[in-house]
């Protein structure tokens, strides 16, 4: 039976992060202009700041990560008959409605992702084509960092450097879908510019764990951004007094990015608690928890599936209340996570608003529900 009130700890995605009070104030006070005319000073400030951070010539505020990726593909694949090599588990391939194909006329050549989010570079080299007139022309390589479906994995710098050298030798452009690039930088303890040094373009999201309500920033050379600005307009992404949103983005960079280490710590604490239970039914790969996303693997899915556990975490029983699985006010705890039954996994994601206390409550509930499984 449910209690009238519950504490809900929502770990389905970091897109659930909400604008902070500082963001709301900055948005209300933002100096704005018509950005399609290039007259919004707050947007310009954000774009310049990002270009400096990533050591690229210019930046462009876009509506979403999906739009940033699509525009990059449109810019880099100018020849009709182009293809982009992408990971088979990448967001751009799985979850962006094949915009590369349907809108940009670019085919995607997919390589299976390794568990660490990389793909085989031997295989990559074999896939490069274009010398034969029967074939498409490989124009672009896309790397996702951190890798969402691979459980927030940070792509190793050595692998990136090797890929860059292959791409340079074969005249292939590189784009990084860095939706959560600041998480990768935190884990590696390097500036974002080091990670994206050899990439022709990079996009990151302000609206995921960085708490801004809307927006991504795309960066590259002046020429790339000039072209990107044109395609953004064609896609309906030319926005007017959008400094209101860019103002939240500036706060995200100043206020939220420096706190990413705490977010990673909370992900790890939950993972460690699950791992320490040594359950025969579910576990995490504790040595590879690197950022704010973690996968819980179900070991006997026929007995207890990921979906079963999602539903259990989403319920409060009278027994658990009497067993003290409550917050400090005696309210039941609900933990929301996302099942990936096709991979026998649950994904949980932490973000700025999931503080230490909420992390402890989530651990309390998860541990209790694991104990019940026997």
Ligand X SMILES: Cc1ncc(COP(=O)(O)O)c(C=O)c1O
Least Å distance, CB 361 to ligand X, is 25
> Considering the complex, what minimum distance in angstroms separates the CB of residue 134 from ligand X?
32
Q: Which residues within the stretch 82-111 sit at the binding site for ligand X (CB under 6 A)?
A: 91
Cβ contacts of 273-279, under 8 Å, gap ≥ 24 = 273/363, 273/366, 273/367, 274/366, 274/367, 274/370, 277/367, 277/370, 277/371, 279/370, 279/373
User: For residues 17 and 216, which CB has a smaller minimum distance to ligand X in the complex?
Assistant: 216
Per-residue binding string, ligand X, 214-233, x by CB under 6 A, is --x-----------------
Give Cβ neighbours of residue 374 (< 8 Å, ≥ 6 apart).
Answer: none
Nearer to ligand X, 30 or 206 (CB): 206
* DSSP assignment letter at 326: B
Total residues at interface with ligand X (CB under 6 A): 11
Name the one range near ligand X by CB under 6 A: 17-25, 58-66, 133-141, 320-328.
58-66
Residue 342 φ then ψ, to 5°: -65, -25
Q: Which residue number, 174 or 205, has a Cβ lying nearer to ligand X?
A: 205
DSSP string computed for 17-82: ----HHHHHHHHH-----GGGT--HHHHHHHHHHHHHHT-SEEEEES-HHHHHHHHHHHH--STTE
* Residue 118 is a binding residue for ligand X (CB under 6 A): no
Tokens of 188: 């590696």
179 binds ligand X (CB under 6 A): yes
Report whether 280 contacts 300 (CB < 8 A): yes
Min CB(94)–ligand X separation in Å: 10
Q: For ligand X, which is the closer residue by CB, 179 or 296?
A: 179
Q: Which of the stretches 28-36, 63-71, 132-140, 360-368 binds ligand X when contact is defined by CB under 6 A?
A: 63-71
In the set 205, 289, 335, 339, which binds ligand X (CB under 6 A)?
205
Decide: 174 and 140 in contact? Cβ < 8 Å: yes
Residue nearest to ligand X (CB): 65
Output DSSP code: residue 215: -
177 touching ligand X, by CB under 6 A: yes
Identify residues 143-172 at the interface with ligand X (CB under 6 A): 144, 148
274 or 349: CB nearest ligand X: 349
Measure the CA–CA gap between 141 and 87, rounded to whole angstroms.
9
CB of 356 to ligand X, least distance (A): 25
Strand order in the sheet with 216-220: 58-62, 216-220, 201-205, 173-177, 137-144, 82-87, 107-111
Contact positions vs ligand X (CB under 6 A): 64-66, 91, 144, 148, 177, 179, 205, 207, 216
């Amino acid at each position: 039976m449910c209690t009238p009130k519950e504490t809900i700890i929502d770990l389905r995605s970091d897109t659930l992060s909400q604008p902070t009070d500082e963001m709301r104030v900055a948005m209300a006070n933002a100096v704005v202009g018509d950005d399609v005319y290039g007259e919004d000073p707050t947007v310009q400030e954000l774009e310049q700041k990002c270009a400096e951070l990533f050591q690229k010539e210019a930046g462009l505020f876009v509506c979403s990560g999906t739009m940033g990726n699509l525009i990059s593909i449109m810019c880099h694949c100018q020849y009709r008959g182009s293809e982009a090599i992408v990971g088979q588990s990448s967001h751009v391939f799985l979850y962006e409605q094949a915009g590369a194909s349907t809108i940009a006329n670019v085919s995607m050549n997919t390589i299976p992702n390794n568990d660490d989010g990389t793909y085989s570079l031997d295989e990559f080299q074999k896939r490069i084509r274009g010398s034969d007139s029967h074939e498409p022309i490989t124009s672009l390589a896309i790397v996702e960092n951190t890798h969402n479906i691979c459980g927030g994995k940070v792509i190793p710098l050595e692998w990136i450097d090797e890929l860059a050298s292959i791409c340079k030798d074969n005249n292939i452009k590189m784009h990084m879908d860095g939706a959560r690039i600041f998480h990768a930088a935190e884990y590696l303890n390097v500036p974002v510019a080091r990670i994206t040094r050899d990439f022709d373009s990079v996009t990151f999201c302000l609206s995921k764990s960085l708490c801004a309500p809307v927006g991504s920033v795309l960066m590259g050379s002046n020429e790339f951004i000039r072209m990107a600005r044109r395609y953004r307009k064609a896609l309906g992404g030319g926005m007017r007094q959008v400094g209101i949103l860019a103002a939240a983005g500036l706060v995200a960079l100043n206020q939220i990015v420096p706190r990413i280490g705490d977010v990673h710590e909370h992900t790890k604490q939950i993972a460690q608690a699950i791992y320490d239970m040594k359950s025969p039914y579910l576990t995490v790969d504790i040595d590879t928890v690197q950022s704010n996303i973690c996968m819980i693997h179900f070991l006997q899915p026929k007995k207890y599936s990921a979906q079963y556990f999602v539903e259990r975490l989403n319920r409060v029983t009278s027994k658990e209340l009497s067993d003290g699985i409550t917050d400090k006010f005696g309210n039941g705890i609900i933990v929301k996570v996302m099942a990936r039954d096709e991979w026998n996994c649950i994904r949980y994601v932490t973000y700025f608003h999931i503080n230490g206390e909420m992390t402890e409550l989530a651990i309390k509930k998860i541990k209790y529900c694991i104990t019940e499984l026997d």
